Chain A
């Protein structure tokens, strides 16, 4: 029954002549505009009035397809409403009807002509993020191309990798590498881990150490094989590359863990490198590695697994240290410069925190409010 009643009411309002007691002065300047900088799904309806909030405006949308929809009842004095339920390039007309506090219709009028929302090429709501990204880019690029000597505080786990490689060669045992079950080539952490792997492959090629990389993902396997082959070629040791040492095991998390446990027990690697994104398998791997007496160096962005690596491995790279690793290992001046820029960005972060908190103390929550809003 109710939908019928509403529909009847809508038709009545739509077809009724302007029944204003005080025409024009009640509601004037009804206009519909496209909302700028959006995906073309919103129109803004505004009007002018001197009425107070006791008067309500019922807004009804009519599409060119003949469909009518009620947007709702709004206080007259808000003077504008956004309809974000329209489709790009559709055409619409709106009818506004004013009711007084007793619910009596005092005025009704429609917008002039048809309005149509447009899709834009820039999202204004993301302007702040765009500016921040540009700033971050500028900073990183400046650091990258600045080329100056940069001090690096030592990171134990990274200097230990080269030593560990030497140990593996002495013992005549392989080095085992894994980027973790959570690794995927489209994630920056995995890219960082693969950068370490590329460096590792060229060192292993020059030492002639055997490097095993059982993967849980064949895309990762393909990238690692390309990386190892290229590294061996650059080192002048193309014969070192053995595609069968970089192989797909399974994408099942615990199937992968079970297989790596078996590989460790049977091949007895001298060094285990757990660098990438890990989930619950981290501890299964690292404890088995401990059991076989391997030197273990771990590094991950998985915050929950860090504690387990810390307890079971000889060295653990924490979060950002994994990303810094390629700068440390390759000593590439551009990558080092990027690290220098990252440090300045951290200072920027710290200044923001302090400014935000001081602002809060002074009852000015603009920074925090904006950050929480995005």
Chain B
């Protein structure tokens, strides 16, 4: 099954005939539907596990109750009330979900700082190199760096555009080759550990 779908999708890339397009569109739609079914399934398993916690009065059940309340509220708002402007669904998203998400995202500022601090304890020459480049690029991007003359910004730009891009290309080429090899092995059934199987 994996092989059939794999080779069919690989071959259609080279088939300009409209039938190839039809096959491509159909399979893509199936994938979309399967992911969608998975998402609803995920929501159901999520609700089930919290229901079990609440009904068993297990540790933290009160939080599970909160989670269930939030889930039910959102589902009811979206499935009954609709998702257009002015609905409860969008109000909840804009005033609760989105700010919470943005705040978690903004935690990154603190984490970046602590990660940088960790990086300062450069353990070896590689880490030192990473740190120096990071500093140059940072300084090159802010006005203080520019005040020291064009050298720092120019160096920063060169580091980003030339050696960094070269290394990135090297990484990408490796990833490309690795991806093709894994995909081929999976299609041929040589590698089945993704479903726990062994040859």
Q: What is the interface of chain A, defined by CB distance below 8 A to chain B? A: 37-40, 88, 119-123, 126, 129-130, 133, 136-137, 140-141, 144, 184-186, 188-189, 191-192, 194-199, 201-202, 215, 217-219, 221-223, 226-231, 233-234, 244, 247-255, 257-258, 280, 283-284, 286-287, 290, 301, 303, 306-308, 310-312, 318-320, 322-324, 326, 330, 332, 334-335, 338-339, 341-342, 345-346, 349
Contacts and interface: CB of A to CB of B under 8 A. Distances in A.
Contact of A323 (B111, B172, B182, B195): B182
Contact of B171 (A119, A257, A320, A341): A320
B181 A338 contact: yes
A227 B172 contact: no
A356 to B, nearest CB: 13
B115 A222 contact: no
B3 interface: no
B121 to A, nearest CB: 10
A129 B45 CA distance: 43
A257 to B, nearest CB: 6
Given A136-B180, A323-B178, A341-B181, A126 B13 contact: yes
B195 A319 contact: no
Contacts of B185: 140, 144, 334-335, 338
Nearest to B118: A311
B17 A121 contact: yes
A40 B18 contact: yes
Interface residues of B, number: 62
A126 B177 contact: no
Contact of B31 (A120, A186, A189): A186
11 contacts: A39-B17, A120-B17, A121-B16, A129-B14, A144-B185, A188-B179, A194-B194, A217-B42, A218-B41, A255-B101, A346-B173
Interface in B156-196: 168, 171-175, 177-186, 190-191, 193-196
A318 B41 CA distance: 33
Contacts of B179: 188-189, 192, 301, 323
Contacts of B180: 133, 136, 140, 188
A318 B134 CA distance: 18
Top 3 closest A-B pairs, CB basis? A230-B196, A323-B178, A218-B42
Contact of B194 (A198, A218, A301, A338): A198
B196 A280 contact: no
B15 A121 contact: yes
A269 B39 CA distance: 27
Given A123-B14, A192-B178, A284-B111, 11 more contacts: A39-B16, A126-B14, A133-B10, A184-B35, A188-B182, A218-B42, A227-B196, A229-B196, A287-B115, A303-B168, A323-B182
B197 interface: yes
Interface stretch (B75-83, B84-92, B102-110, B141-149): B102-110
A234 B104 contact: no
A258 B196 contact: no
Given A191-B182, A320-B178, A342-B181, A230 B197 contact: yes
